[in-house]
Amino acid sequence: MGTIEKLFESWRKHFENGGRFERWYPFFESIESVFFAPARVTENAPNVRDHLDVKRFMMLVIVALLPHYAFGVYNVGHLAHLASGLSTDFGAVVFTGLKTVVPLVVVTYMVGFFWETLFAVVRKHEISEGLFVSCALFPLTLPPTIPLWQAALGISFGIVIGKEIFGGTGRNFLNPALTGRAFLYFAYPAQLSGDAVWTQLLAGRNAPVDAFTSATPLAIAAVTDRLGDAQSALADSGYSITTLLVGTYPGSIGGTSTLLCIVGAVFLIILGIANYRIVVGCVAGLLATGFFLNLVAPEGSLPYLAVNPIYHLLMGGAMFGFAYMATDPVSAAHMPVSKWVFGFLIGALTVLIRVFNPAYPEGVGLAILFMNLFAPLLDHIEIKIRLKKRVPNV
Amino acid sequence: MKTIRIAKGYNLQLGGRPSTEVESLPEPARLALLPEHIPFIKPRLLVAVGQTVRQGTPLIEDKRNASVRFLSPGGGRIAEINFGHRRVIQEIVIERDAQEQAVAFESIAESELETFPRKRLIEAILAGGLWPLIRQLPFRDYAQMELEPPMIIVGLGSLEPFQPLPEVYLAGKESLFEYGLTALKRLAPQVHVCAPDSGDSLPDRLSSLVSLHYSGPYPAHDPGVILYRVKKSPEENRAWYIAGQDVLLLAHLLKTGTYPTERDIVLAGPSATTRKHFRTRLGVPLADITAGRREEGDIRHIEGGVLSGFVGSDQTYLGFYESAVNLLPEGNRKGELLGLFRPGYRRPSYSRTFISKLNKNDLVYDCNIHGGDRACIACGYCAQVCPVDILPQFAYKSILAGEVEESLEHGLLDCVECGLCSYVCPSKIELAETLHRARVNYYIEQSK
């Protein structure tokens, strides 16, 4: 028996029946099972069970998100130094990024874990790992300037209202991280929208240096004057296709890099965790709708209508939402064909919200939440059709 | 000849495959009947401890239909009758005499058989205690003799790890098997003999008897899966089936007029040190088969296949329907340190989340659950593997909600209880067990 195993064995008695912290057993169990899988064996057929459990399933999503954190830390620091006219030395940039991102992540995890543990203790079940994914996703969707107390409030809303009151992971019908994000947007628009929130300013500055564009690509595309051309407006602000693909522009902490999102989506699809139908459906819906708007846009209309659909995919957090939020298996559609429809409509709604609702520049979050509501209906229809094909057996 | 291709299902990468070698075991000192593991019967004891029985003396009858009886697999003295929880009869143990006496039953000559009246044939099988070998879908109770089934499915071979191989138990018994098939043809308008399409190992004489080939992963061999593929109308749901080796028992009874005792049993699995077939008797003690042929330590004795079998021990006996003993490590210890984060080259999984997916070698499975109980996260793996296209993730919710009609619509009665849904579930939900209980409850409710 190794040292760590002995350590857990010595703590165990306090958490088991009759121990001092008996009620907090779920907390102990969730920590212990990260180190050692439990020794429980099957009692009925089938005698053997797969090695995959929900813990590993969720852990792999977090692994896919780690590059976003690395990128986010760099991007946040880099933009803050650019906007404040400081040196963009790699070490200093990363240090600034860490100073912003680490407290956000720590606060999010502490608050989220507190709620989950509380519900697990009251309901007497083990802590479900969905929480760790929600808490990993949530900070990546936030602007770097968000006050920590708002992050705490947002994740509380996401975990409690988005998930726990319906029974916890597996019984929620909305994506918890997005629910928290949407709550923050509507409750505190000042800290979650506008041009000022996406870049941190350091060294006591109130405004960025002159050469720095703090407007996000989505904001630029949305407010371009009539008769203007959104794409050239973006190019004028320094947002080339490459910049948009790599994601080195102001935006949410981890959602701007479309390239990393594609890598993450492919990783999750290869492992069978994200469903390719949803991701491909989302992208297809977005491109098709963007292209359709190009076709119907009359002369002299809103320039946003004429934006090349590829730009829609590259700007903002669309791909981040498609890869990690829409593919949440619990709140997505469950049936194969429904998944295509679900994905396609998310993509379509994302473009429609972006183009036709200037008050809400990023549409993907609301599009996913909206389709989360419709997923059960899509499933219901598909199941009914499938069951009709069976030879009855009663 | 027809080949049924079944795409859905899953083959475990389980090591411990048995060889085709056969060893005859010495006659066991004790034999037993295990009424507990015969589904649905309500046994009435017909013997008492100390009583002398012959090979073929009725031990129990079914209270639901007293003509269905289970006979003594050997001659001797009733040594023990062991009861379990709520006085369920677990074992009736017979201490064998050196000189066994056998009951004589009616024997039917091969020439008579083709014109033998159906009713008298059924009576002969009932008297000989082997009627329960013929079972009826979808519930797998013994067949209702008053009905004529649409077909009888005879299953040769099994894709489940691990079951006796047909080329072993049929070797040298081809004519007996043909006799058995002739008898079955008196019972139903159609008899389908089903064998794997890779079954060139069958002797020529037998392969000409095969009328349906199946191909695909486990459980493509299952009569329920085959019926699901061939049926065209609801009338065919009540098909009968019988295992290939049981046809031999039936034929032996009718041909010789004595209760058959010979059984070919396979010993396999990663924890068995000798993996091969054994020729022994019905109701043999498991210890006779496994002693000296297994690894030390906590070993699970599974009677039947790894996925659908039940847990035995070296203190128990072989069940009436079983012909396999699989030995697996119990796995009742904690996982390796931080196993959650390891790539898992040797950890088998249906999913693609372990690099064992790239490992083509046989792997060791144990009986650990490998995770904690969680709510369904709708990964959909269960529906991907279900051979009869049930959506287990929705069907089990309708069962738990008490919606019997809805669960039937979902195909609850098509379920073949292969256990794959429970096997693949990352939330460790007892899907197969939930469906199984719902089927049992529905059947009991229906037959009231």
Question: Is the Cα dihedral A176, A118, A186, A255 positive or negative?
Answer: negative
Q: Which residues of B touch A337 (CB under 8 A)?
A: none
Contact of A39 with chain B, judged by CB distance below 8 Å, is answered with yes
A129 and A182 inside one domain: yes
- A360, part of any domain: yes
B250 and B377 inside one domain: no
A88 and A171 inside one domain: yes
pLDDT of residue B200: 61
Q: How confident is the model at residue A374 (pLDDT cuts 50, 70, 90)?
A: very high
Mean pLDDT of A190-207: 85
- A13, part of any domain: no
Our CA-based measurement puts residue B115 at a distance from the nearest CA of chain A, in whole angstroms, of 34
Scanning A375-394 for CB atoms below 8 A from B yields 383, 386-387, 390-394
HSE-CB of B3 using CA atoms within 13 angstroms: 8
Query: Per the CB < 8 Å rule, is B337 touching A2?
Result: yes
Our CA-based measurement puts residue B234 at a distance from the nearest CA of chain A, in whole angstroms, of 6
ipTM over 0.90: yes
Query: Per the CB < 8 Å rule, is A45 touching B308?
Result: yes
> Is there a contact between B338 and B332 (Cβ–Cβ < 8 Å)?
no
- B76, part of any domain: no
Peptide linkage before B150 cis (omega within 30 of 0): no
A63 and A163 inside one domain: yes
User: Which residue of A50, A130, A332 is in closest CB contact with B426?
Assistant: A50
pLDDT of residue B305: 94
A141 and A234 inside one domain: no
- A41, part of any domain: no
Q: Check pLDDT > 80 for residue B139.
A: yes
Query: Per the CB < 8 Å rule, is B371 touching A47?
Result: no
Q: Which of B224, B256, B288 is the last residue of a domain?
A: B256
| Cα radius of gyration (chain B) | 22
Nearest CA in chain A to B327: A47
What pLDDT digit, counting tens, does each position of B398-416 carry?
Answer: 999 999 999 999 999 999 9
What pLDDT digit, counting tens, does each position of A245-277 carry?
Answer: 999 999 999 999 999 999 999 999 999 999 999
Contact of A270 with chain B, judged by CB distance below 8 Å, is answered with yes
The distance from CA A70 to its chain's CA centroid, rounded to whole angstroms, is: 15
pLDDT of residue A249: 92
d(CA B324, CA B263): 10
Cα–Cα distances in angstroms (integers) from residue A339 to residues A179, A334, B147, in the given order: 20, 7, 45
Q: Check pLDDT > 80 for residue B380.
A: yes
Contact of A92 with chain B, judged by CB distance below 8 Å, is answered with no
Query: Per the CB < 8 Å rule, is A57 touching B379?
Result: yes
Domain count, chain A: 2
Our CA-based measurement puts residue A275 at a distance from the nearest CA of chain B, in whole angstroms, of 9
User: Which residue of A2, A46, A53 is in closest CB contact with B307?
Assistant: A46
Identify the CATH number of the domain in which residue B232 sits: 3.40.50
- A100, part of any domain: yes
Cα–Cα distances in angstroms (integers) from residue B56 to residues A135, B104, B282, in the given order: 68, 8, 12
Name the burial class of residue B86, with classes exposed (0-12), middle (13-18) and buried (19+) by CB atoms within 10 angstroms of its CB. Answer: exposed
Our CA-based measurement puts residue B316 at a distance from the nearest CA of chain A, in whole angstroms, of 17
Query: Per the CB < 8 Å rule, is B377 touching A42?
Result: no
User: Which residue of B300, B351, B368 is in closest CB contact with A52?
Assistant: B351
- B337, part of any domain: no
Residues written for chain A: 394
- B433, part of any domain: yes
> Is there a contact between B418 and B395 (Cβ–Cβ < 8 Å)?
no
Rounded to 5 degrees, what are φ and ψ at B69?
-130, 155
- A310, part of any domain: yes
Which structural domain, as residue segments, surrounds residue B392?
A: 369-447
Mean pLDDT of B77-93: 94
What pLDDT digit, counting tens, does each position of B203-238 carry?
Answer: 777 788 888 999 999 999 999 999 999 999 998 999
d(CA A10, CA A15): 10
Query: Per the CB < 8 Å rule, is B334 touching A36?
Result: yes
Domain count, chain B: 2
pLDDT of residue A302: 79
User: Which residue of A39, A47, A53 is in closest CB contact with B300?
Assistant: A47
Angle in degrees, 0-180, between the axes of helices A176-187 and A364-388, rounded to the nearest 10: 140
B122 and B244 inside one domain: yes
Query: Per the CB < 8 Å rule, is A272 touching B352?
Result: yes
Q: Which of B256, B271, B301 is the last residue of a domain?
A: B256
Our CA-based measurement puts residue B375 at a distance from the nearest CA of chain A, in whole angstroms, of 5
d(CA A235, CA A310): 14
Q: Check pLDDT > 90 for residue A202.
A: no
Q: Which of A196, A223, A241 is the last residue of a domain?
A: A196
Edge-to-edge strand ranges of the sheet holding B58-62: B43-45, B58-62, B65-71
Name the burial class of residue B85, with classes exposed (0-12), middle (13-18) and buried (19+) by CB atoms within 10 angstroms of its CB. Answer: exposed
Query: Per the CB < 8 Å rule, is A334 touching B378?
Result: yes
List b or e across A354-372, with b for residues whose CB sees 16 or more CB atoms inside 10 angstroms: bbeeeebbbbbbbbbbebb
- A30, part of any domain: no
Mean pLDDT of chain A: 91
pLDDT of residue B336: 85
What pLDDT digit, counting tens, does each position of B36-70 carry?
Answer: 999 999 999 999 999 999 999 999 999 999 999 99
Q: Check pLDDT > 90 for residue A214.
A: no
Q: Closest Cα partner for B16 from B378, B348, B356, B358?
A: B348
**Helix (H, G, I), strand (E, B), or coil: what is residue A26?**
helix
Which structural domain, as residue segments, surrounds residue A131?
A: 54-196
Q: Check pLDDT > 70 for residue A226.
A: no
> Is there a contact between B211 and B193 (Cβ–Cβ < 8 Å)?
yes
d(CA A163, CA A115): 11
Alpha helices in A52-162 (DSSP H): 54-84, 90-123, 130-140, 148-160
Mean pLDDT of chain B: 93
Characterise B389 by phi-psi region: left (phi > 0), alpha (psi -120 to 50), beta (else).
Answer: left
A84 and A160 inside one domain: yes
Q: Check pLDDT > 70 for residue B382.
A: yes
- B56, part of any domain: no
Say how many CB pairs under 8 Å bridge A and B.
211
- B357, part of any domain: no
- A285, part of any domain: yes
A341 and A301 inside one domain: yes
- A231, part of any domain: yes
pLDDT of residue A192: 86
pLDDT of residue B140: 94
Q: Which residues of A touch B424 (CB under 8 A)?
A: 50, 52
**Helix (H, G, I), strand (E, B), or coil: what is residue B5?**
strand
A107 and A252 inside one domain: no
Q: Which of B230, B256, B282 is the last residue of a domain?
A: B256
B12 and B137 inside one domain: yes
User: Which residue of A48, A129, A393 is in closest CB contact with B237?
Assistant: A393
Q: Which of B218, B351, B400, B445 to mutate to test the interface with A (most CBs of A within 10 A)?
A: B351
Q: Closest Cα partner for B203 from B239, B233, B227, B178?
A: B178
A182 and A226 inside one domain: no
Q: What angle do CA B307, B312, B315 make, to 5 degrees?
A: 160
